[in-house]
Amino acid sequence: MRHGVYIKAPFEAVLAGLTGSCALGIVNDGQQASSLSSPSTASAQSRFLIDRLVEAPIVRCSEMPWMELHQAQLLKLATNCVVNPLTALLDVRNGSLLANPELQEMQHQLLQEISLVFRRLPELQGLPDVQEQFSVARLEEQLIGNIEKTASNSSSMREDVRAGRATEIAFINGWIVRRGQQLGLECPTNRCLTQLILTKTSQGR
């Protein structure tokens, strides 16, 4: 999902802008990485939902093979691991991350750790171009492009912190830390950001 969305009221969300996109897929570990889920392998409910969303022009959805979607989600995760916690801690909109040169080193350190974890994931071994796709340079290029496109947006984590809600930090930077540990990799910068966000949100309760 590459749409900007903000919550206006309980059960009411607003789509901010019409230039985003959304990729969908059905998780099926038994499938070939290059094949789309077919009606025979996907539940009727999942198939119906995906078909309706792909038909809706406003959300610009496309269906992807599971392994391609998995890699796309990892790339999105890398960007979220930088943008969300930093904008939440500093209470700024996305574009401020590029305007502050003091943040460049921390962003680079975060992406270095994330790149190492991604390139060691067992499920990606043997796939073509994995090392290049998840290189620090590629992740930085994607990060900058995303921030430029969403410069005026307020990240979901920033909005959660401002509203006193729990954040998804444990499932983004926290996941990087846990997966890194399983792979024998330390991710101190991601760990630090996770702890800072958890501390910030606990103080607001």
Domain ranges across the chain: 1-64, 65-205
pLDDT winner (highest mean) among 7-16, 44-53, 122-131, 177-186: 177-186
Topology classification of domain 65-205: N-(1-d-carboxylethyl)-l-norvaline Dehydrogenase; domain 2 (1.10.1040)
**Does the active-site annotation cover 76?**
yes
Question: pTM for the complete prediction?
Answer: 0.80
17-69 pLDDT, tens digit per residue, is 666 778 777 776 444 444 444 444 567 888 888 888 888 887 788 888 888 88
| Secondary structure (3-state) at 149 | helix
| Secondary structure (3-state) at 12 | strand
In angstroms and rounded to an integer, the radius of gyration of the C-alpha atoms of the chain is: 18
137-162 pLDDT, tens digit per residue, is 999 999 999 999 999 999 999 999 99
- Given the residues 8, 76, 149, 200, the one annotated as active site: 76
- Tokens representing 24? 């969908």
- Tokens representing 132? 């290049």
